[in-house]
Each structure stands twice: as C-alpha cells, then as structure tokens.
Structure 1
Amino acid sequence: MLTGFPPIESERSHTLILGTGPSVRSKLKQQYYGHERNAFWPILSSLLGGAIETYEQKWLLLLDHDIALWDVLASFERKGSLDSSYTTVVANDLKLFLASHPIIRKVLFNGKKAEALYKKLVGFYPENIAFVTLPSTSAAYTLSFEEKRERWGKALEL
C-alpha cells in the first residue's frame, strides 16, 4: 500500500483543500502536487500572490493565507497516477481533523474523485462548513488553466 503525506495546516486554518492521494511523481519528489504539469501551485500562486520556486515557499503560501492541504486517502493501492485507478483505499481521519480545526469553514475538493472518496469513506458534513467541488488541477483534466483559475478564485473568495 502507498501512503500519503501529512497535512499542511495550522491552528489558524479556515479553509481545507482536499485531494485524493499523491501521484507517482509527487511521491518521488515527496511533495504535494509535484508533477510539473499540475496547475495547483501556479493557480494558487497567481491567486494568492506568492512565490513557488521551492517547496518551502509553497507551504508558506498556504500557511500565510490560513489554508490547510491534505488528501482524503491515508493509504491506497493504485496503478499509475490516474484517480480512476484506485483499488484499495483507506481514508485519513478527516472527522478528527475538522473537529481539531474548529475555525475551518470551507472544504474545497480538488476534483470530483476527491469529493466522491470523501463522501463514500468519510461522509462527515458539519452544517457550519461549506463543501465545494472544484475542477481538478491535474493536467489530465482538460479544462483550461484560465477556467480552473477562475473557479478556484471564486471558491477562495478572491
């Protein structure tokens, strides 16, 4: 079984972004959204106005804006990197995470698969938290960068 990464978070986090699980390239780099063609970091950098040359700068970009990042899956089996290739899956304890971060008011799913896995494996929807499914930032999802950026910007209220 492959394992995911620990969350990027702080006690000030008011927004949680959830992906599915790290891609093969991300696992090799030991970085969230490590594939060069994934638009996650360029989108957030353009919306939040921060440098993303190093992984530390990427972390700080999120933390400086009180945004947490994690994946729905703690461990999984998957051939390749496509979200459609998951076989065995185990969820992170997102109910505990949300309970221990009481100021989170928004959960943004990075793609429909993250939302579907959350619904199936976690299914915890507190009334004081908005849950929003956004276009996947993966290069495999063919919506244009500009359209993805616009939808992510609206969800982040920028």
Structure 2
Amino acid sequence: MLKGFPPIHSQQSRILILGTGPSVVSSLKQQYYGHERNAFWPIMSEILQGPIETYEQKWNLLLANDIALWDVLAEFERKGSADSAYTTVIPNDLKLFIDEHAMLNRILFNGQKASDFYRRLIGYYPPAIEFQTLASTSPAYTLGFGQKLEVWRNSIVHPIQC
C-alpha cells in the first residue's frame, strides 16, 4: 500500500484543500503536487502572491493564508498516477480533522475524483462549511492554466472579500 502525506495545517486554517493521493512523482519527492507540470503551486503563488521556489516556501504560503492541504486517502493501491487507477483505498480521518479545526468554513476538492472519494468514504458535510469541487490542477486535466487559475481564484479569493 502507498501512503499519503500528513496535512499542512494550523488551528487558524479557514480553507481545506483536498486531493486524492500523491502521484508517483510526488511520492518520490515526498512533496504535495511534486510533478513539475502540476499547476497547483503556480496557481497558489499567483493567487496568494508568494514565492514557491522551495517546499518550505510553499508550506508557508498556504499557512500564511490560513489554508490547509491534505488528501482524502491515507493509504491506497494504484497503478501509475491516474485517478482512474485506484484499486484499494483507505481514507484519512477527515471527520476528526474537520471537527478539530473550528475555523474551517470552506473545503475545496482538487478535482472530481477527490470529491467522489470524499462523498463515498467520508460523507461528512457540516452545514457551516461550503464544499466546492474545482478543476483538477493535474497535467492530465486538459483545461488551460489560465482557466484553472480563474476557477481557483474565484473559490479562494472572491469569497474571502465578500
């Protein structure tokens, strides 16, 4: 079984971004969204206006903006990196995580598969939290960078400004 990473979070986290599980490249690098063609970190840098040259800077950028990052899956078997290739899945204890983070008001799924796993394996939707499924930042999802950026910007920045 492959294992996911621990969450990036603080008690002040207001937004939780959930993926499925680390890709092959991310697992080798031991970094969230480690594939150089994944748009996640460039999108975060553009929206949050911060540097992402090092993994520490990436963590700090999220934490400075009260954003938590984790995956729905704690352990899994998968052939390759495709979301369609999962065979066995064990979820993280997201109900406990959500309950322990009282400031959370939004959960954003990085792609439809993360949302589907959450619905099927967790199914916990507190009414005070808004849930949204966003365009995957994966290079396999063919929406252009600019379109992905706008979708993510609308979900991260605009609700905060309201």
TM-score by length of 2: 0.97
Q: Give the whole-Å Cα distance in 2 for the aligned partners of 1:101 and 1:130.
A: 14
* Alignment partner, residue 89 of structure 2: 89
Using the TM superposition, give the Cα deviation of residue 157 of structure 1 relative to its aligned residue in structure 2, in angstroms.
Answer: 2.4
Quote the residue 1:52 is aligned against: 52
Task: For residue 77 of structure 1, give the secondary structure of its aligned residue in structure 2.
Answer: strand
**Alpha-carbon distance in 1 for matches of 2:77, 2:138:** 19
Structure 1 residue 79 displacement after superposition: 0.3
The DSSP-based 3-state class of the residue aligned with 2:132 is strand
Tell me how far apart the structure 2 counterparts of residues 157 and 125 of structure 1 sit (CA, whole Å). 22
Shift of 1:102: 0.8
Could you tell me how far apart the structure 2 residues matched to 1:2 and 1:50 are? 31
Structure 1 unaligned residues grouped into runs of 5+: none
Contact 2:31 2:55 in 1 (8 A): yes
Instruction: After TM superposition, list the pairs within 5 Å mapping 1:54-73 onto structure 2.
Output: 54-73=54-73
What's the % identity of the aligned pairs?
65
2:75 aligns to what SS in structure 1? strand
Task: Report the number of matched residues.
Answer: 158
1:28 is matched with which residue?
28
For 1:3, the equivalent position in structure 2 comes to 3
CA RMSD of aligned residues (A): 0.5
Q: Which residue of 1 aligns with 2:105?
A: 105
TM-score by length of 1: 0.99
CA distance in 2, matches of 1:105, 1:136: 21
Task: Give per-residue Cα distances to partners, 1:89-121, cap 9 Å, x unaligned.
Answer: 000000000000011000000000000000000
Once residues 118 and 105 of structure 1 are traced to their aligned partners in structure 2, the CA distance between those partners, rounded to angstroms, is 17
Equivalent residue for 1:153? Answer: 153
Query: Gaps spanning 5+ residues in structure 2: where?
Result: none
Distance 1:102 1:60 in 2: 21
Once superposed, which parts of structure 1, at least 4 consecutive aligned residues long, lie more than 4 Å away?
none
SS in 1 for 2:114: helix
**2:133 is the counterpart of 1:138:** no
Structure-1 residue corresponding to 2:14:
14
Post-superposition shift, 1:48?
0.3
Query: What SS does structure 2 have at the residue aligned with 1:47?
Result: helix
Q: Output the CA distance in 2 between the equivalents of 1:49 and 1:84.
A: 33
Q: Write the letter of the residue equivalent to 1:93.
A: D
